[in-house]
Amino acid sequence: MTEGYCVRCKKKVEIKDAKKTKTKKGKDYMKGKCSTPGCPTTVCTFKVD
């Protein structure tokens, strides 16, 4: 699974429902939700596997 930093939980978490997307400039990144129960924060990371 892909990991990212959740700014609300202030720790590294696994990204739930991760999807590969691109920025406007064409750089790949992963985007999804925080896997911590009760945390609705969107988590992103530029480390694409």
Per-residue pLDDT of the chain in tens (49 residues, 90 and over written 9): 789 999 999 999 999 999 999 999 999 999 999 999 999 999 999 987 6
**pLDDT in the model for residue 2:** 87
Answering whether pTM is above 0.85, one says no
Round to the nearest angstrom and report the end-to-end CA distance of the chain: 9
* Residues 6 or more apart in contact with residue 2 via CB below 8 angstroms: 14, 15, 18, 30, 32, 45, 47, 49
